[in-house]
Structure 1
């Protein structure tokens, strides 16, 4: 069978203004971590990058955000090539503003010694020309956008719950108004009800701000409620790709079926913030 990702139609003009990845490759020693990965993420869309540990997901997104340089292939955002090394601090900062990342562990982006408001303001100080009063006002707006108030703003990260810390990490990422938000297992460490709250928040932000999401996960239980399309990786290669409904309901590749069969629970109902029970299981 022809690989799923080669059967997709050419992106339209609108999609080309988004994130376009073509033939991405990365080798570490004798291991081919990423091998000919291609996809398009249109403005305002959400693509789920799915696979088990070691499938190449993390290496792929590290190349997208500039933490790793690809051995081959191209990464373009709004028509601009991001594959080559950035020339100078200004270009590095500009690229960082375009694609922001939210990690599974918020402590990767939060200084545990600094209050939440200052953590968010640090990003604004680095990437904007706002004066102190303007930065403080913007911090309040961002924290309100993710459902946090003055009490959380004054707290140290360790005083917050896991869900609250993840909201702070999202606020930091949104501070520079990115085109693309990479969510790397961003809800994996949260319990069921908090996962649903964060997913609902992310859906609201995407509708209101028009940001594109690359949702990186090994858990297909949440993909249906966040993704328009799904890209399945195995051993660094794309084995299946297509609309989320088709991939989840009628998977073509045995590996995709294996991932679906390993999901302990299916059928999230984000609106009720509780997982539905699947009567067929």
Structure 2
């Protein structure tokens, strides 16, 4: 089979992370993390708070600088500082991030359509009519319409705001979406809707997912592989079914044992 190529003709090799490290003073947040995400693949980073999963995610998108290690997308090194505005924008288009609380990442003074227009104005050559058409297309893609387009973030539900955040991330046609606890703040029924939406987008757009979560209950629904982190180090890594059904590391078994099951009742 010939290698897959992207819109620019570059070979799609996926995301490769090697030996990623990050320290904050005496504390090592990420210690030698390595993994690959194939084109269109989905990998879950799981672990307790403080495990290093969010720091890893922030280094991938450039919000944090790694102390050591490399991040490559399609063979291109993203670890070095970007040289100029054009390269920074190009990197931003390649890997986009969706945060846990979209209300904090959406400007409360800007309508949904204005939010999407800002992204399209920055990253595309579309004229005003083209941007409006693309914004409507993106909102329709995530199940929103004209009413939501004219609303401010405070006028939307939590699930609707997360759909807006996903639409904004998709506006630049990224190769990888990093989803940092993207459904953790939503109730269970809305979580299911967002996970279904993400599965559909991945199938149709071929975008890869790096799904950061502490909730093993959602991992089966979104990921092909799972990487278990503890204190910044990898404890276990493999296909989701193998890791969750037959974990090899005691820490993975501990995480699985902590997931509430049918009939579970709190003590006290």
Same fold? TM cut 0.5: yes
How far apart, CA to CA, are the structure 2 residues paired with 1:107 and 1:159? 11
Structure 2 counterpart of 1:268: none
How far apart, CA to CA, are the structure 1 residues paired with 2:182 and 2:259? 18
* Equivalent position SS for 2:35: strand
How far apart, CA to CA, are the structure 2 residues paired with 1:66 and 1:138? 26
Q: Does 1:256 align with 2:252?
A: yes
Q: Does 1:162 align with 2:158?
A: yes
* Equivalent position SS for 2:126: coil
Q: Does 1:31 align with 2:32?
A: no
How far apart, CA to CA, are the structure 2 residues paired with 1:171 and 1:105? 15
Q: Does 1:115 align with 2:102?
A: no
Residue from 229, 235, 253 that aligns with 1:233: 229
How far apart, CA to CA, are the structure 2 residues paired with 1:278 and 1:69? 45
Q: Does 1:212 align with 2:208?
A: yes
How far apart, CA to CA, are the structure 2 residues paired with 1:171 and 1:16? 23
Equivalences for residues 24-173 of structure 1 within 5 A: 24-173=20-169
* Equivalent position SS for 2:248: coil
How far apart, CA to CA, are the structure 2 residues paired with 1:20 and 1:160? 37
Q: Does 1:186 align with 2:186?
A: no
Structure 2 counterpart of 1:200: 196
Structure 2 counterpart of 1:7: none
RMSD: 1.5
How far apart, CA to CA, are the structure 2 residues paired with 1:57 and 1:234? 9
TM-score by length of 2: 0.93
**Offset of 1:109 from its aligned partner?**
2.3
How far apart, CA to CA, are the structure 2 residues paired with 1:170 and 1:108? 14
Q: Which runs of 5+ in 2 are unaligned?
A: 5-10
Q: Which runs of 5+ in 1 are unaligned?
A: 1-12, 266-276
How far apart, CA to CA, are the structure 1 residues paired with 2:197 and 2:75? 29
**CA offset digits 1:160-217 (Å, max 9, x no partner):** 1000000000000000000000000000000000000000000000000000000000
Q: How many residues of Structure 1 are paired with residues of Structure 2 in the alignment?
A: 256
Distance 1:278 1:231, change over 3 A: farther
Structure 2 counterpart of 1:17: 13
How far apart, CA to CA, are the structure 2 residues paired with 1:278 and 1:147? 35
**Offset of 1:120 from its aligned partner?**
1.0
